[in-house]
Structure 1
């Protein structure tokens, strides 16, 4: 076959080329990867039709791709803000679809020319089955022949069985199936377009807080926290930053926002509010907590420093361990009285391991062990 169309999709010859005895014809309103072709009434033009001047082979921002009668715009995230409005798209879609070749009420059979004698007998036999019912006059390249709906159905549909009278059990079973199907349908149809994640809506949401540099800074962050009903120093903000993989405390970039909010499927303030409990629950999972804890060190430190200053470290440790580690008040006092000015990453990780493995009475603590903090002498009197 040289090519056939099905609902606006062009399917090429299996070998990827047209047969030697035919050339590309002109097609009507068939869009393949952004190129639009026209379909002649004769279906047998000997030269390729002129391409629409406004179309090109290169997909670019705003290109329309027609798949099975549905027009889809090709977009990048950066171009979402320049996306046409829904009304503009609908108008353009109606204009394009108005010229699309419509399928008739009855079926149409596509007849193909005879095969090249050089082709194998197996291929000829396979394709011959497709044209055995087509009259000799219809065997011209690309010609269309109409047949009635009943004639086509009789060839593909099995004979209908006689219906037997329904019994009481049958009616009960039918009602049960109907109720089950209704419940299933009812549970899915309540989802609206607003429930589905929208990158465009997420982008618009971002710019409610971002500045001209495409970054949510301290002022935007304060407004953001106020809108979602969370204090900036709340630990859930640290979990959110971890989800966004934010690199700097107090700042969200556009890329971080889109990546994290897409993962959370949040594109509005309300959706994020409804996800706060989920974010808090991640702290209760040991594996996730460890990942968040390790992330917090790099998130909070100055990027030109390899260590975390002691004051920031005390705040972050209080945020992460203050409510779950009974010894934290003692450890915090130890840091207050110590001469430490910074904490490196090994020490930071050791604090978490210490909180998980050392008994509350320090009975299994070894001052000569692997832990880089040595504070038994200063606190043992307050614990024992």
Structure 2
């Protein structure tokens, strides 16, 4: 009997993305699987039920019916308690589970006997690039951060020379030059801003400069060894942070827009901008905090709010920036998932290699146990 794949609509507040698109329904069917989609799954991403049906999926409004026979459940965020309880024991759940913070979700999946894979744990190796949800979503979040900044900023980004005088270009400072930061740099440059950027990873300097921005950082010995083997930023020493903070303070006071993107897996987001930094900025300046869901890079940022400070600085804290460009975010994420499912399904049957390095890295629960070392504690 063919592997049954189920997709339900997202029930987490503010989540507009979906885990499958009509395009990827066809990819999943090509693996020999069947696909059942809950009615309304693609509404927030502008994919009507009729398009899923045309692609070959079965669409149903009966949640329990969708889940009851599912061998695999595809999600954007982790399933709710009602979804998890409706799954058969041993079902496979794949999504961005936010496993370090969503402990209740992981416990529920463990209790249900589900095999859960967290897409955020897919290793950054060559053969897994097509499954890298962190990169696909961060890329769009970085783009959207600049759009949100431009919307909140009371002036234009490019320099404009007019008969009435010259309008100066906006000065944009991007803190963190990972995937989101690099896209933010590129987007701000396209809009005509003068862009500077910083990051604790040495490799970022060349990438920043290749996009036409100026790199700003304390380039000492600690800086030269500040990247893990997996390409992530290391936690920096208090001494380095103090030096970087001093440099940041002198630079930020001159900026019109600041975009912060720094995240450390499994830890609270590092504090990059203090209240003193914010107080030093001129009225009308904008800060966009992409790390607001993880505690925030900016003192005073609040999830899903724009905070206007006493000195007239706007701090933008939208918690799901990729979801604010839902159609494209869903399209990319669904392709990531379809590629991952391809590791599990062969000729319509489950065919799981327990030694596959991608599956081992992404597995969180299996047979009633938490199996991911980083999540166990």
TM-score between the two structures when normalised by the length of structure 1: 0.21
Higher relative contact order (CA 8 A, sep 6+): 2
Greater per-residue helix proportion: 1
Larger Rg over CA atoms: 1
More strand by share: 2
